[in-house]
């Protein structure tokens, strides 16, 4: 009997949905577990590749802890799951729930993906005693869950090294972060030539506190010769707060809110560089970086996490030691002068990360011990 891999996330924001779709569409014998209130998001996927559990997604409950517990209770009720395997594709924030689930799970194999080293490694300083205690408990549960897990997937060598070293394990497997494919191909260079503004610097993605938006405001204020386009959901801030960061910056265009997929190509093709001024505790891979590779847009970034390591390793742009505005400005000046030198490397990185290739890598890992 063929072993199926059941895929579970439980979160349905943009990149979670695209990640789940990329995985399902590029692998065989995988079945996506969905909440009953989220089926419309995956109406383009065959019903044979979906399994709907009888509860809503955790965030729709007044208490998220109750929501997650109810979700994991429904997972345990799935008879199919106990005869097959499961892959938790965003395990970072649900490790305690996963460990409790594994106490009762009778299936064949368990896989997890950890996107952020900081989820299981104390990179960011604990803000309170309660936070410190919680993280200590979480790390302990991860260690215990690791003994019941076949493989932990990560999206960069930085995270792999940190987890492998701290937990003394060889179960950590690095695979590229999947990139959605398109048919632009050789048209990219022509489109960039027609649309490119060599003074336009793009910041793209959800504006969380670890993304360094305040530091970017200082860079923009000190460099009126460049135009800065800030595009993405407001995340950890209000619209008013972000507007105040860039107050009186006439060289800044704010496009705050959800960015439609059809608008993304033009944002990247019309820019000279992507800037990612992330904070020291940003410890994962970057979705905007993968888009930069897709559209051959060189990157200036803080040298942090899997993102910083990949930019340096694959020569995708210029990194600064940290997100100090002066260092970022120096990096931007160097990159603008060398702008055309990164296209081939970016294309190779895109080919490396295509979902079709990542899917094949995952299938190999699913089937081997």
Segment 289-304, tens digit of pLDDT? 999 999 999 999 999 9
The pTM of this model reads 0.93
Helices (H), the chain: 14-25, 64-76, 95-102, 129-146, 157-167, 187-195, 213-222, 239-245, 264-269, 287-294, 305-313, 325-337, 343-353, 355-367
d(CA 57, CA 232): 24
* Distance between CA atoms of residues 23 and 8, nearest Å: 11
d(CA 151, CA 87): 9
In a 13 Å sphere around the CA of 218, the CA atoms on its Cβ side amount to 11
Number of domains in the chain: 2
DSSP for residue 358 = H
Tell whether 203 and 326 lie within a shared domain: yes
Tell me, what's the pLDDT at 189? 57
Q: Would you state the pLDDT for residue 3?
A: 86
For residues 169 and 261, state if they share a domain: no
Same domain, yes or no: 11 and 101: yes
CA distances from 73 to 32, 99, 104, 216 (A): 17, 13, 10, 44
State how far the Cα of 348 lies from the Cα of 353, in Å rounded to an integer: 9
- The predicted pLDDT at position 248 comes to 87
Does residue 172 share a domain with residue 205?
Answer: no
Determine whether 87 is exposed, middle or buried from the number of CB atoms within 10 Å of its CB (0-12, 13-18, 19+).
buried
Q: Among 154, 146, 119, which Cα is nearest to 134's? A: 119
> What's the token pair of residue 220?
């923009």
Q: Residue 262 is part of a domain; what is its CATH number?
A: 3.40.50.2000
CA distances from residue 263 to 217, 300, 308, 341 in whole angstroms, order as listed: 24, 22, 26, 26
* Whole-number Å distance between alpha carbons of 339 and 102: 50
One domain, residues 347 and 362: no
Residues 191 and 116 in one domain: no
Residues 148 and 245 both lie in one domain: no
Are 292 and 225 in the same domain? yes
Same domain, 15 and 54: yes
Are 30 and 123 found together in one domain?
yes
Residues 6+ apart with CB under 8 A from 337: none
Check whether residue 138 and residue 283 sit in a common domain.
Answer: no
Residues of the chain with pLDDT under 70: 1-2, 126, 183-197
Please tell me whether residues 294 and 243 are part of one structural domain: yes
For the four alpha carbons of 26, 28, 32 and 38, in that order, the dihedral sign comes to positive
| Residue-number span of the structural domain to which 251 is assigned | 187-352
Q: What is the pLDDT of residue 158?
A: 96
């Amino acid at each position: 009997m063929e072993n199926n891999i059941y895929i579970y996330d439980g979160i349905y924001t943009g990149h979670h949905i695209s990640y789940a779709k990329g995985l399902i569409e590029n692998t065989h014998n995988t079945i996506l577990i969905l909440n009953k209130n989220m089926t419309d998001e995956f109406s383009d996927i065959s019903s044979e590749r979906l399994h709907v559990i009888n509860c809503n997604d955790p965030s729709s409950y007044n208490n998220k802890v109750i929501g997650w517990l109810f979700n994991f209770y429904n997972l345990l009720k799935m008879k199919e799951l106990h005869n097959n395997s499961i892959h938790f594709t965003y395990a970072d924030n649900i490790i305690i729930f996963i460990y409790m689930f594994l106490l009762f799970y009778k299936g064949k194999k368990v896989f997890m993906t950890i996107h952020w080293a900081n989820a299981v490694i104390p990179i960011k300083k604990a803000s309170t005693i309660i936070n410190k205690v919680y993280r200590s408990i979480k790390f302990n549960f991860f260690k215990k869950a690791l003994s019941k897990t076949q493989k932990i997937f990560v999206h960069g060598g930085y995270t792999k090294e940190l987890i492998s070293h701290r937990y003394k394990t060889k179960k950590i497997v690095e695979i590229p972060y999947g990139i959605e494919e398109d048919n632009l191909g050789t048209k990219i260079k022509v489109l960039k030539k027609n649309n490119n503004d060599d003074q336009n610097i793009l910041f793209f993605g959800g504006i969380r506190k670890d993304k360094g938006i305040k530091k970017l405001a200082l860079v923009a204020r000190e460099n009126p010769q460049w135009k800065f386009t800030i595009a993405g959901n407001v995340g950890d801030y209000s619209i008013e707060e972000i507007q105040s960061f860039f107050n009186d910056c006439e060289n800044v265009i704010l496009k705050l809110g959800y960015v439609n997929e059809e608008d993304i190509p033009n944002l990247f093709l019309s820019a000279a560089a992507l800037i990612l001024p992330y904070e020291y505790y940003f410890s994962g891979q970057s979705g905007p970086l993968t888009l930069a590779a897709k559209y051959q847009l060189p990157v200036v970034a803080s040298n942090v996490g899997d993102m910083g390591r990949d930019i340096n390793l694959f020569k995708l742009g210029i990194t600064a030691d940290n997100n100090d505005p002066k260092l970022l400005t120096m990096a931007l000046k160097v990159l603008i002068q060398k702008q055309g030198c990164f296209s081939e490397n970016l294309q190779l990185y895109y080919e490396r990360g295509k979902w079709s290739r990542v899917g094949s890598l995952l299938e190999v890992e699913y089937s081997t011990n």
